Copies of this chain bind each other. A is one copy, B any other.
């Protein structure tokens, strides 16, 4: 057992945007992710620290058949868009999307400052399909 099970955000590589060929990739240019769970050896779920710059979006609106997702807002203001409509989220607010709920969702930063959140998603390799209700994209088996 080494001591690589403890880390600080500052030391984790930041991944910006998505590959050029990805659908609507311009929406994700201001999306910055740090993979925290991977960094400390966690495999059963992923934990990302994600920053959305003004105008950036978390993902295409989507839902999972097999994986639960959870978001906790750390700072700034985000708009959650899902089947319930739109809702503004602030620090201390959180939301969940249970596997198979069919509730396509994404987060957008419509404010003038960056917003940060933690996102957790279970990992079910071979046991998840992602649907994108607004886009001619997918479903994607994972």
Q: Which residues from chain A sit less than 8 Å from chain B, CB to CB?
A: 1-3, 5-10, 36-37, 39-45, 47, 67-70, 72, 74, 80, 82-84, 87, 89-90, 92-99, 101-103, 118, 120, 122
Measured CB to CB, the nearest residue on chain B to A66 is B44
User: In the complex the two chains form, what is the Cα distance from A26 to B112 in whole Å?
Assistant: 47
A8-B92, A36-B70 known; A84+B43 contact, CB < 8 A: no
Question: Residue A89 contacts which of B6, B10, B80, B101 (CB distance < 8 angstroms)?
Answer: B6
User: Separation in Å of the A38 CB from the closest CB of chain B?
Assistant: 9
With the chains together, A92 CA to B89 CA distance in Å? 21
A72 neighbours in B (Cβ, 8 Å):
36, 47, 118
Contacts of A9 in B (CB 8 A): 92-94
Q: Is B44 a contact partner of A67 (Cβ separation < 8 A)?
A: yes
Is the Cβ of A68 less than 8 Å from the Cβ of B44? yes
Closest Cβ–Cβ distance, residue A64 to chain B (whole Å): 10
